[in-house]
Amino acid sequence: MKSRTRLTLQPRKYSFRRKLIVGLFFLAIVFLFFKGTLWLKNAIFAKEKPAEQLIEKIEEISMPETKKNTDRVVEYKISDGDIPAEVFQSNGKLDANDVESLLSCAKDVYDFTNIKVGQKLRFYFDEEEKTKRIEYDKNNEALIVVERKADEFSACEEKISYEVSQSTARGKIENFFYVDAMEAGLQEATVLEVGDIFSFDIDFTTEIQRDDEFVIIYEKRSRDGQSAPDGKILGAKFINSGTAYFAYYFDNGGKGGYYDSEGRLLERQFLKAPLSYRHISSGFTGARMHPITRKVSAHYQIDYAAPTGTPVSAAAHGTVVSAHFEGGWGNIIRLTHDNGYTTHYGHLSKFAQGLRVGERVSRGQIIGYVGSTGWSTGPHLDYGIKLNGVPVNPLKLDLPKGEPITGEQIKLFEETKNKFGDLLK
């Protein structure tokens, strides 16, 4: 009897891989089925949308994305000791050749080697971090603009654009004018300008009394949403010892200035005093004991005590006759003026830079600084005036006001005065 051999079935080598492939195939079919259903649903829904929404959607998809503005601005305030070339190199990322080109192109507009301490520079950079524009605040009214195209620079001067509103400040003297006016809302420069406007009638450090009053109408300005320097004073009233003084800004045929209620220019030949922040330590007299010689002698000038370094201004337009050390006078400046007047300014610590004999100076121009040179026991200014060689008391000098407004302009002035009349009451 023959023996039978039992065959044993071997597991197929690739059965697991086949199952995996089949599973993935069915998953793909299911995915395509659902995707097709979703597409059909969106298509049907799209038919229900208004045409305008479809157009907006198409435009939104097809519109290229706008490139964001990546310009950067760096602002720098000039400090004492700054070297202009280094300021441009470090803040504007300019090399030596760029700085030379910039200075050269701007020389007829502004000399950038004379940038002033406290003024601001703004550097505008493009997306490649190259300076494309530079702005420099020349003063409160103008700025110098430098623009760059490729490797070339161009420069021009532009008027600063401000947002302007009219404002009014009122106050009564309780401390002294400077403090009280600041508390009323005026900026320092505006306070000093008020002093200049009325300086031909009032000495603000020797004649101001408690309970004196003031009203100032002025331009309040802002720049790019930030507080900016005040603009012009439009009208002002100051009551000093019961007497009311008025000032109105008026453009008289292209020449702006301040006029009183009668339309006469407030400016006179001489300032009331040649410096601020002082008190009179010795008056105009025919008999005064000299603090050094201890002898009684005439003192035909005024001594103004003030800290060393206080600026001294020319009291009127004039010409420098002398500026040197002169014995007991110490450092002294002598000026000659129109109509036979001369003035002197003694015991100065130093003269203004560049002051020369024969030079014309303007009223209010700084010519020197208070000191204690010569025969002096402390820092003060010895100020004197002579008319045709005869001493005149500066505190009693009564000069006529300027020329009055005439002709067609007087009607326009009256309109300006009436405009501010109620506010100055």
Q: According to the model, what pLDDT value does residue 301 have?
A: 65
DSSP string across 312-333: EE-SSSEEEEEEEE-GGG-EEE
More confident residue, 31 or 77: 77
Q: What does the pLDDT average to over 204-219?
A: 90
Give the model's confidence band at 293: pLDDT under 50 very low, under 70 low, under 90 confident, else very high: very low
**Separation between Cα atoms, residue 301 and residue 381, nearest integer Å:** 10
pLDDT digits (tens, 9 = 90+) for 64-99: 443 444 578 999 999 988 999 999 999 989 999 999
Q: According to the model, what pLDDT value does residue 364 have?
A: 85
Chain centroid offset of residue 131 CA: 24
Give the model's confidence band at 289: pLDDT under 50 very low, under 70 low, under 90 confident, else very high: very low
Give the model's confidence band at 51: pLDDT under 50 very low, under 70 low, under 90 confident, else very high: very low
Q: What does the pLDDT average to over 325-343?
A: 93
Query: What value does the mean pLDDT of the chain take?
Result: 80
Question: Within 13 Å of residue 201, how many CA atoms lie on the same side as its CB?
Answer: 21
- Most confident range, picked from 261-270, 342-351, 376-385: 342-351
Q: According to the model, what pLDDT value does residue 38 have?
A: 52
Q: According to the model, what pLDDT value does residue 269 have?
A: 78
Q: What does the pLDDT average to over 382-391?
A: 91
Q: What does R_g of the chain's alpha carbons equal in angstroms?
A: 40
**Separation between Cα atoms, residue 300 and residue 262, nearest integer Å:** 35
Q: What does the pLDDT average to over 97-113?
A: 91
**Separation between Cα atoms, residue 340 and residue 424, nearest integer Å:** 39
Contact indicator for 125, 108 with CB cutoff of 8 Å:
no
Q: How many residues does the chain have?
A: 425
DSSP string across 248-273: EEEEETTEEEEE-TTSBB---SS-S-
Residue 45 has pLDDT above 50, yes or no: no
Q: What does the pLDDT average to over 203-225?
A: 90
Residue 41 has pLDDT above 60, yes or no: no
More confident residue, 14 or 161: 161
Residue 5 has pLDDT above 70, yes or no: no
Contact indicator for 312, 345 with CB cutoff of 8 Å:
yes
**Angstrom distances, CA of residue 56 to CA of 59, 61, 131, 391:** 5, 9, 39, 89
DSSP string across 61-103: HHSPPPPPP--EEEEEE--TT--HHHHHHHHH---HHHHHHHH
In the chain, what are the domains? 72-159 (3.10.450.350), 163-259 (3.10.450.350), 279-396 (2.70.70.10)
Contact indicator for 335, 282 with CB cutoff of 8 Å:
no
**Separation between Cα atoms, residue 375 and residue 370, nearest integer Å:** 14
Indicate yes or no: pTM above 0.85: no
Give the model's confidence band at 36: pLDDT under 50 very low, under 70 low, under 90 confident, else very high: low
Residue 332 corresponds to which amino acid? I
Give the model's confidence band at 206: pLDDT under 50 very low, under 70 low, under 90 confident, else very high: confident
More confident residue, 64 or 247: 247
Q: Residue 192 gets which letter from DSSP? A: H
Q: According to the model, what pLDDT value does residue 57 have?
A: 38
Give the model's confidence band at 210: pLDDT under 50 very low, under 70 low, under 90 confident, else very high: very high
Q: According to the model, what pLDDT value does residue 271 have?
A: 80
Residue 40 has pLDDT above 90, yes or no: no
Q: According to the model, what pLDDT value does residue 9 have?
A: 42
